């Protein structure tokens, strides 16, 4: 048991959980987070509080951000904006089929190799950007790296709102991309319309995997079209809903549709429930 707080480097961006140590940051406080390139400024979005999980493996906050840290962070953001504008302008002048997604900049010292900018981009195929790197380096007066992102990584970096109305999972809490297949959509009786089951990245939505284990283990459910006996008479199964253990049934006599619990339409389930009681 220990204390944890959550911080974000960008508003509505990915959350990072850290051990506050002796600090007690509140929501909105600027804190220093350890990174490979030194401490960086982030905003506390979840105040430090006790949790039941073991916190030994979490990184620890460096401290609260001071005036010098905030000025450095502002200079860093300004350099990122300048690099992004310069990259877009030079890409147009070179006529390259690339789209700039994000820019990362490090205000390094001479001992650490100096300043460097990393430009993340997407492209439909491999691009020869050697001349672009030279022009960018001459314009920004620093070392420049270009990295091509996949569609999923691009959505993670840019963020956005999903069809559910919430922030994208990949941009908030997902740490790894797990395989998602069209079989998962079929097992959940979802429409196989790409517009309905694709995320902002154009690939299958990651959330198709969340409830799939429930559907994969629902062999005891009646199949759509199967006739079942309900408390209101004979009906035909329209769809199943394993998360709530219910099925939608259309009555044979009247034609009305209603949702019934699994125990009401499944004989073996009724016998099982009666045995428990």
SS3 of the chain: CEEEEEEECCCCCCCEEEECCCCCCCCCCEEEECCCCCCEEEEEEEEEEEECCCCCCCCECCEECCHHHHHHHHHHHHHHHHHHHHHHHHHHHHCCCCEEEEEEEECCCCCCCCCEEEEEEECCCCCCCHHHHHHHHHHHCCEEEEEECCHHHHHHHHCCECCCCCECHHHCCCCCCCCCCHHHHHHCCCCCCHHHHECCCCCECHHHHCCHHHHHCCCCCCCCCCEEEECCEEEEEEEEEHHHCEEEEEECCCCCEEEEEHHHHCHHHHHHHHHHC
What pLDDT does residue 259 have?
Answer: 86
What pLDDT does residue 122 have?
Answer: 92
Report, in angstroms and rounded to the nearest whole number, the Rg of the chain calculated over CA atoms: 26
Q: What is the dihedral of CA 50, 55, 56, 57, to 10 degrees?
A: -150
Residues of the chain with pLDDT under 50: 110, 269, 272, 275-277
* Residue that is written with structure tokens 């990295």 in the block: 147
Element containing residue 113 per DSSP (H, E) = none
Q: Is the pTM of the predicted complex or chain greater than 0.75? A: no
């Amino acid at each position: 048991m220990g204390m944890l707080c959550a911080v974000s480097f960008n508003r509505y961006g990915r959350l990072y959980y850290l051990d506050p140590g002796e600090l007690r940051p509140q929501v909105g406080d600027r804190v220093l987070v350890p990174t490979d390139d030194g401490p960086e400024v982030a905003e506390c979005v979840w105040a430090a509080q006790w949790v039941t999980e073991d916190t030994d493996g979490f990184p620890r906050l460096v401290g609260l951000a001071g005036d010098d840290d905030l000025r450095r962070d502002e200079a860093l953001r300004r350099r990122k904006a300048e690099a992004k504008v310069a990259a877009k302008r030079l890409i147009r002048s070179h006529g390259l089929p690339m789209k700039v997604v994000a820019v990362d900049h490090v205000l390094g010292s001479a001992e650490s190799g100096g300043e460097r900018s990393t430009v993340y981009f997407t492209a439909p195929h491999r691009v020869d950007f050697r001349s672009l790197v030279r022009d960018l380096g001459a314009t920004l007066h620093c070392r420049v790296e270009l990295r091509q992102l996949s569609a999923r990584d691009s959505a993670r970096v840019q963020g956005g709102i999903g069809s559910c109305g919430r922030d994208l999972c990949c941009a908030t809490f997902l740490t790894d991309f797990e395989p998602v297949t069209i079989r998962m959509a079929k097992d959940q009786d979802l429409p196989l319309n790409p517009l309905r089951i694709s995320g902002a990245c154009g690939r299958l939505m990651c959330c198709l995997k969340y409830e799939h284990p429930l559907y994969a283990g629902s062999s005891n459910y009646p199949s759509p079209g199967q006739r079942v006996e309900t408390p209101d008479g004979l009906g035909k199964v329209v769809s199943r809903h394993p998360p709530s253990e219910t099925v939608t049934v259309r009555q044979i006599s009247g034609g009305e549709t209603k949702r019934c619990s699994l125990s009401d339409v499944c004989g073996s389930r009724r016998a099982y429930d009666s045995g428990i009681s």
